[in-house]
Amino acid sequence: MSNMFERILVAYDGSEPSEKALEVALDIATKYSSQLEIVRVVDTSAIYSYLDVVPVDLEKQMYDEARKDLERAELRAKRKLPNAKTTLLSGDPASEILEYSHKNGFNLLVCGNRGRSKLKRVLLGSVSSRFAHESRVPVLIIR
């Protein structure tokens, strides 16, 4: 029988729920000898929808924060799973992660039940809710 969780993608934004999601994904990946990838999306959709011109400092700050989040996650992950990988994307988090998951053949998508952006969740619905409704692979939402 093949491993149904051969490739696991974790949606990560540095929030407490995403930290918990990473821990659960690491446990699953360890138990099933899965490949694990952690993805962080710089939410450029939020700023570009409100500003015509985005200050360079703001965009740089967003990318710097995202890189730091990914570095922390990668250090944690590699303690348990030395082959864990990370990817940094930009755009709308739900759309980018769903597309990346589909294009790269992941078998499981793991995420926290809520992330950092409260305003966007109120206006557009949560990222995890979009995953649950739109993903082509199983989604594990961690509380």
pLDDT in tens, 84-139: 999 999 999 999 999 999 999 999 999 998 655 554 444 335 889 899 999 999 99
In our burial notation (b when 16+ CB lie closer than 10 A, e otherwise), range 70-107 reads beebeebbeeebeebebbebbebbbebbbebbeeeebb
pLDDT tens digits for range 47-98: 766 667 767 788 899 999 999 999 999 999 999 999 999 999 999 999 999 9
Model pTM score = 0.89
Domains of the chain (ranges, CATH numbers) = 11-142 (3.40.50.620)
Other Cβ atoms less than 10 A from the Cβ of 45: the count is 18
Query: Quick one: pLDDT at residue 116?
Result: 54
